Amino acid sequence: MRLLRQFYRIFQINITLVKHGLEEVIFAVHLFRPIRFLLLLMPWHWFRRADISHGVRIRRVLEDLGPIFVKFGQALSTRRDLLLDDIANELAKLQDKVPPFSGEEAKKIIEEAYGKSVTEMFAHFDETPLAAASISQVHPATLHDGTEVVVKVLRPGVHKMVKRDLEVLHLLADLAHRYWADGRRLRPREVVDDYEQTVMDELDLIREAANASMLRRNFEGSSDLYVPEVYWDYCRVNVLVIERIYGIPVSDIKTLKEKGMDMKKLSDRGVHIFFTQVFKHNFFHADMHPGNIFVSHETPENPKYLGVDFGIMGTLSPRDQRYLAENFLAFFNRDYRRVAELHLESGWVPSDTRVDQFESAIRTVCEPIFQRPISQISFGNLLLRLFQTARRFNMEVQPQLVLLQKTLLNIEGLGRQLDPDLDLWKTAKPFLERWMNEQVGPRAFIKGLKDNLPQTLEQLPELPALIHQFLSQQTQVTPAAIEQQKIEIKALNKELKKQRRLSWLVLLSGTLAATAVWYYS
């Protein structure tokens, strides 16, 4: 039954492509190439309106196919170096111009969630949405105390639509894993599994509220980013109420320039926000397309970002975080051998990979892009060469890094729009050097000592009592048990001597810590 449902969805996708005049996509599949000539015999091919561009057709196909496909279009819309202008402009409309559902239906969902009428919950509720996205839409409202808010409401039936398309993605991933030459290396099953978790989390607006609250706390008092306040008493699984913000869409370059925004500082801060989230907070906004980012108009000489839509957030394990930072630094320093070694140490490439060959391949791809502004770099060609290198060395896709890669592409696309001359490397390198110093330098030693000292001191007095308790419980034992006890007692005595030595080490470390604090203060 599930398989039939999946194939039916694939059939729907093909019908949608034909409906919007993109049947050439179907005939581009290897299986159908021999009968491609049939395309010329289709009647609708003769009378197709020439005034509808490919960009419009692609956007309409993605809109008709639903949330999963709309999100795919959103990600593509930031990659103007990979797309024709008309396609990029149309896909950009998916960021905040998805067709809305009716305000009456939104009110019904809200009233079912609260068990009360909209007029009881809000002094004013506007049925006309401010913006509509693939999974939800937002309406302006006012609380009874006069506070201006926005109310985010999940689309009706969105769970069913998402689950249906996820089944299709799982089917395609399984086929790719089995029959595609690069299927095992690219790990499509794991990538889809991770994406499923991300999308299902996005359908829980209580989780989004918690994400927004934590991100707001992380950037409290920051001059880089402002995160609106969450009104917890009004939040439900399918309804989110959050402070209304006023700003200029980051994609509205014309208005930003008219307001006198410092575009260079704005682009630099976007990069700084990204690296702060990833390496300092280890909690990053993973859906930073232009539709979710605004700029405050209050201080154009010192521009500040305003963030919305916190449904997709990412984190990294300490191991991945460390390897990633070291890779970035080695890359910025053009230490390609260290990049190759790190990939081997992390297990991202097979253990039998020759370091010198991998180093040479990385150098060939990356060396041409250094000390050049973004406007002069073809990231499309760079990505293509990197994929070719990855294929050659059987490098596996890391599913846990997919969100980060997507976010980095969004940030790069945003930087390209704001300041084509942005030097990404110059902006990011000092930040990463400070972070690495905090991880392995004197500050890291002091922090580790501070964190572990209370636990060590707490455990020292307990060790003799544990030995006494152990011996008191042994009343009747066999010779074999006595021998085992001797071994265990010997081990305990050894541990006690170790703890005594540790007490001296603690005293010495305390002295070193005091000296280091004095030195760095």
Q: Please, what are the averages of pLDDT over each run of 10 residues along the chain (521 residues)?
A: 70 76 58 53 57 79 79 65 70 72 93 94 94 88 96 92 82 73 68 78 93 95 94 95 94 91 89 87 84 89 92 84 80 84 81 87 80 60 62 68 71 77 74 75 58 61 63 58 65 60 44 41 42
CB 340 within 8 A of CB 358: yes
Q: Which of 358, 400, 25, 91 is nearest to 251 (CA)?
A: 91
Q: Which residues are catalytic?
A: 287
- Give the DSSP letter of residue 236: B
Residue burial 387-396, b: 16+ Cβ < 10 Å; e: rest: eebbeebebe
Q: What's residue 509's pLDDT?
A: 45
Q: What is the largest distance, in Å, between two alpha-carbon atoms of the chain?
A: 98
Element (H, E) at 17: helix 2-19
* Dihedral over Cα of 21, 25, 26, 28: its sign: positive
Q: What's residue 317's pLDDT?
A: 83
Residue 258, number of CB atoms within 10 A of its CB: 11
Distance CA 120, CA 111 (A): 10
Q: Which of 62, 216, 199, 76 is nearest to 136 (CA)?
A: 199
Distance CA 486, CA 6 (A): 65
Q: What's residue 306's pLDDT?
A: 95
Q: Encoding tokens for residue 426?
A: 């110059």
